[in-house]
């Protein structure tokens, strides 16, 4: 991390109460900057600071909000406007996963996935554009490798994230002349509670255990995200071989990619 680039900046993080968002909050809190967290529950770090059990260089604020609700986003932005008049970096990190076969997925599950993964970050970004334009800021969305191609047993999840990609790419081109940047970050499997808090095909809580294979820690992902913001050329960022494979094979040989996905994830949709 280049701490000099973050000093004095105003940073907004969504979903900072757990997982990758929590790791971002923890890392950036070491720097003298202003951090505003938006999430339904208050991060443990902020509770410790308020109780004077810990002290950090950053000035940190929490705004409670359900980011799938336009009404709550509007309220959160009104509160945020009292704390900052410009934003340097927006980490659109909050998200939800959805696991089920397409033919066993109810439309409600698609709506839930899109409310959290697509409409929430898109509407929040729209509402914060005046703040971002003032500081010529950067927007990073936490996506997934599953957003690079339709993954079996992830139709609702993959589609909500790939739709988000398209919006961010359009915005990047349109607003580049105003100095704004839009970065799509696709981490690999990460040790978070994403599966436990995800939804099934009926829109009910998934409650799956964490992925048992090789995975990254939230801290590793957060470090890469921060370095990606520091890189002015960042656009679509992946972290590992599986991400690079998906990124390139979707264009080079989608038929081969589908055969690999079919074999690798067969048990997920049977």
The SS3 of residue 206 is: coil
Cα distance between residue 259 and residue 254, in whole Å: 9
- Active site (catalytic) residues: 157
Q: Are 194 and 98 in contact (CB under 8 A)?
A: no
Cα distance between residue 236 and residue 83, in whole Å: 31
CA distances 83 to 9, 36, 55, 114, 136, Å, are 13, 8, 20, 29, 18
Q: Are 20 and 222 in contact (CB under 8 A)?
A: yes
Q: Are 63 and 38 in contact (CB under 8 A)?
A: yes
Largest CA distance in the chain: 57
Q: Which backbone phi and psi does 36 adopt, to 5 degrees? A: -120, 120
Residue 196 in tokens: 């436990």
Name the DSSP class of 162. Answer: H
């Amino acid at each position: 991390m280049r701490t000099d680039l973050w000093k004095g900046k105003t940073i907004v993080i969504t979903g900072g109460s757990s997982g990758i968002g929590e790791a971002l909050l923890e890392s950036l809190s070491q720097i003298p900057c202003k951090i505003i967290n938006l999430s339904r529950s208050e991060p443990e770090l902020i509770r410790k600071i308020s109780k004077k059990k810990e002290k950090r260089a950053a000035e940190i604020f929490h705004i409670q909000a359900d980011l799938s609700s336009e009404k709550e986003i509007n309220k959160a932005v009104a509160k945020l406007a009292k704390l900052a008049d410009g934003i340097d970096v927006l980490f659109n990190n909050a998200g939800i996963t959805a696991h089920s076969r397409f033919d066993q997925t109810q439309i409600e599950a698609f709506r839930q996935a899109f409310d959290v993964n697509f409409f929430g970050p898109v509407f929040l970004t729209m509402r914060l554009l005046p703040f971002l334009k003032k500081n010529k800021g950067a927007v990073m969305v936490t996506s997934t490798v599953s957003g690079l191609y339709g993954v079996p047993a992830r139709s609702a999840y993959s589609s909500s994230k790939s739709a988000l990609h398209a919006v961010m790419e359009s915005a990047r081109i349109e607003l580049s002349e105003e100095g704004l940047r839009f970065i799509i970050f696709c981490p690999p499997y990460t040790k978070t509670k994403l599966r436990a808090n995800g939804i099934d095909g009926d829109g009910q809580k998934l409650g799956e255990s964490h992925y048992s294979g090789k995975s990254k820690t939230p801290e590793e992902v957060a470090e890469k995200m921060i370095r990606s913001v520091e890189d002015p050329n960042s656009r679509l960022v992946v972290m590992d071989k599986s991400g690079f494979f998906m990124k390139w094979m979707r264009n080079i040989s989608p038929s081969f990619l589908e055969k690999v996905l079919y074999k690798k994830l067969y048990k997920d949709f049977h």
